[in-house]
Amino acid sequence: MKAEQQKLYTERISLIEQLNETHPKSLAKDFVANISDQLSQFNEESSVVFDSLVSQLTKDMENTNEDIDIALYDLKDFVIKNDAELDEGVTFDMIIEKRAEPYVEARKLESKTLIMNAIAY
């Protein structure tokens, strides 16, 4: 996202420098309109790129959350298959619920927060 922002900034500055370097007597209406049109086009293109990046970030977050859920299931399966010894009254589900799920939910929230901050930036 930062690279796209830098590219857009560079392109805009280049257009503005063209205006700056042109002598006021040479500023024709068509020349200025052309610069204005190009700036508008950059805005439209940047909007499309931004929307695409947001969609990709959201998809990545969903895939990561799915991977986390699969890893949690695999952990529970591993513990059960290895006949871990449990204290009386404790179940595998209780262990996963009390020890693993809070960590998993915190990581999901952290991931969502990072993506929302990237989008806001």
As for how many domains the chain has, the answer is 1
Handedness of CA 74, 75, 80, 83 (dihedral sign): positive
- Full domain range(s) for residue 27: 2-120
Token pair 């991977």 is at which residue?
Answer: 67
23-27, 109-113, 114-118: the lowest-pLDDT one = 23-27
Query: pLDDT digit string (tens) for 45-94?
Result: 888 888 888 888 889 889 988 998 898 888 888 877 776 677 788 877 88
CA nearest to 66, candidates 25, 120, 107, 11:
107
Does this model's pTM top 0.85? My answer is: no
- In this structure, what token pair is assigned to residue 55? 């969609």
Query: In degrees to the nearest 10, what's the CA dihedral of 80, 82, 85, 91?
Result: -10
CA nearest to 61, candidates 4, 2, 110:
110
